[in-house]
Homo-oligomer: A and B are copies of this chain.
Amino acid sequence: MKNIQVLIDSLPTNKLEATNYRINEAEMERLGDNEIRVKTIAFAITAGTRAGLQGSASYAGAPTAGRVMNATGVGEVVESNDTRLSVGDRVLGPLGWQSYSEHRAEALNKIDSKRNPEDYLGPLGVNGLTAYFGLLSVARPKAGELVMVSAAAGSVGHLVGQMARIKECQVLGVMGSDSKGEILKNQLGFDTVVNYKDPNYRQSLKEATEPGVDVYFDNTGGMILGSALFRMNVGGRIACCGVVSQYDTNSPEPGPKGIPGLLVNKRLEMKGFVVFDFEDRYEEARSEISGWMDSGKLISLVDGVSGLDAAPDAFVDLLAGGNIGTRVVRVSPD
């Protein structure tokens, strides 16, 4: 039996291209002691993994040429040498861009087989938990406040906006196409949207943010962060989640103007976070999020493509803003 893999062929020197990847067929080896073999159902592609391809990471397992591309995926246990997981169990874990993978039980999380496994790549997975903790624990909006979110149609952003609505905030989404904006307003209940590619973006943002922004959930950094700083209210909070504007380049921009001057004048708090710091509260969060999904308050938008060989183009397209919701690659769907 063969394992189909997508390997990193070369690290990108500037913008990522599909040719930075290549398909590989590997022989499946005998499963080791205490190992578990998982057949990939689907995996998510997220902008954050682009940062790992910048070549400066030095941790064990860092993405580099010749390795299988990293991704969080959902799969089914097909072989197990650990009593903690059995054949047929559904799991969430670092499966990568491949049809099969081998893990220790500690690296996998058993998921509820009755749910659509793709929920664990969206609201119940890293994206949903990132939205949840970044918004509720880091940015801490109060009912009635104006919450602005960038990359608002993205895998994290579309959930942030809905969670802010659930918390009775006004929600402004910033995204890069008007058609995305329509979906955010009509399907997900965003109050207002602004297209950052519009030549009148600054003026539109100003009008959409009267009388000012209380919370800004920043997925992009760069120009949009800069524009948000000028619209923040005194005492506003900025949750720094990601820097998608700066991942797909070899020459990152300088920081936005007004730092630290605007932080002082407006007593702003800017706080970076990574979701893994909240690991001990994942179950509590998943319970609340699944409640919102079950009652129809939270909708998971999935932007799926089929087949491992579609993954490189899907990633390049994602970095250009092509996705609406969570980009999922379906490898071996139900």
Chain A residues within 8 Å of B, Cβ to Cβ: 218, 221, 225, 240-243, 246, 252, 254-274, 277
Inter-chain contacts of A265 with B (CB < 8 A) = 272, 274
A243 and B267 alpha carbons, distance in the complex (Å): 13
> What 19 additional pairs, Cβ within 8 angstroms, besides A254-B255, A264-B274, A267-B274?
A218-B260, A221-B259, A221-B260, A240-B260, A241-B264, A254-B256, A255-B256, A255-B258, A259-B270, A263-B272, A264-B272, A264-B273, A265-B272, A266-B272, A267-B271, A267-B272, A268-B271, A268-B272, A270-B271
B257 and A254 within 8 A (CB): yes
A161 and B266 alpha carbons, distance in the complex (Å): 25
What is the copy number of this chain in the assembly?
A: 2
Which residue on chain B has the smallest CB distance to residue A243? Answer: B261
A259 and B223 alpha carbons, distance in the complex (Å): 11
Inter-chain contacts of A264 with B (CB < 8 A) = 240-243, 272-274
Inter-chain contacts of A240 with B (CB < 8 A) = 260, 263-264
Inter-chain contacts of A266 with B (CB < 8 A) = 272
A269 and B267 within 8 A (CB): no
Which residue on chain B has the smallest CB distance to residue A271? Answer: B269
**5 shortest interchain CB distances as A-B pairs:** A255-B255, A263-B272, A255-B259, A264-B272, A240-B260
Chain B nearest CB: distance from A274 CB in Å? 6
Give the contacting residue for A252; candidates B243, B261, B274; CB below 8 A. B261
Chain B nearest CB: distance from A301 CB in Å? 24
Which residue on chain B has the smallest CB distance to residue A272? Answer: B263
A259 and B261 within 8 A (CB): no
Which residue on chain B has the smallest CB distance to residue A225? Answer: B260
Chain B nearest CB: distance from A24 CB in Å? 31
Inter-chain contacts of A225 with B (CB < 8 A) = 259-260
